[in-house]
Amino acid sequence: MVEVADEPPDIAALAEEIEAEFAQQNVHIERKGPILAIHTRAAPHLLARSIALVEEALARLPSGYRVLAGNAGVELMPLEAAKGAAIRRFMAMAPFRGRHPVFLGDDTSDENGFEAVNQAGGFSIRVKPDGVTLARYTVTDVEGALDWLGRQVAARRKA
């Protein structure tokens, strides 16, 4: 079952303000319903300004939002939209209940998901680690992640 969340008017207004400020500056604004992501990979010098804009916006938004800065961008999201919360919801549903979750991520914004997977006894994998991570496993690139997953599947087939 999939629930699509609409974009609240206050998030829509904020997205339009930020789009106007960063027009023609290689910043990508991603509107994901109640989540607003600002991607600065092509303009890393604008990351600090992006973070400041969404932190300032918290005062104008209803409670329950948080700012989550990543390696090349920042997200503004409701607390219940965090990856860890989503993983916990999935793990409470059939057919996931009683199984071990597997979660791969490559950004600081994935740490919440790693934490939830670890609490559920699953496999948390950080791709391209840069600094401290909650993930139990690390791999250097996507090819390494695919290799790791293949070895896990092969080991389980032998067991």
Q: What is the CATH number of the domain that holds 28?
A: 3.90.1070
Pick 85 or 42 by higher pLDDT.
42
23 is a domain residue: yes
Average pLDDT over residues 114-135: 93
Do residue 117 and residue 150 come from a single domain? yes
Under the banding of pLDDT at 50, 70 and 90, the label for residue 1 is low
pLDDT at 20: 97
Backbone phi, then psi, for 74, in 5-degree steps? Answer: -145, 145
Question: Is 76 found in the same domain as 14?
Answer: yes
Query: Which tokens sit at 126?
Result: 């950080």
What b/e sequence results for 134-146 when a residue is b if at least 16 CB atoms lie within 10 Å of its CB, and e otherwise?
bbebebeeeeebe
The answer on pLDDT for 11 being more than 90 is yes
Give which of 125, 85, 81 is closest to 107, Cα–Cα: 125
Say if residue 110 is in the same domain as residue 148: yes
Question: What 3-state DSSP class applies to 18?
Answer: helix
pLDDT bracket for residue 156 (50, 70, 90): confident
Q: Which residue has the higher pLDDT, 111 or 5?
A: 111
- Domain, as residue range, for 20: 9-81
pLDDT at residue 115 above 90? Answer: yes
Same domain, yes or no: 69 and 104: no
Q: How many structural domains comprise the chain?
A: 2
Contact 100, 124 (CB under 8 A): no
**Residue 120 resides in a domain:** yes
Nearest partner of 116 among 79, 87, 82, judged by Cα: 87
Residues 25 and 73 in one domain: yes
pLDDT digits (tens, 9 = 90+) for 30-80: 999 999 999 999 999 999 999 999 999 999 998 889 998 888 999 999 887
- The pLDDT of residue 73 is 93
Read off the pLDDT of each residue in 4-12 and give the average, rounded to a whole number.
Answer: 90
Task: Give yes or no: residues 62 and 121 share one domain.
Answer: no
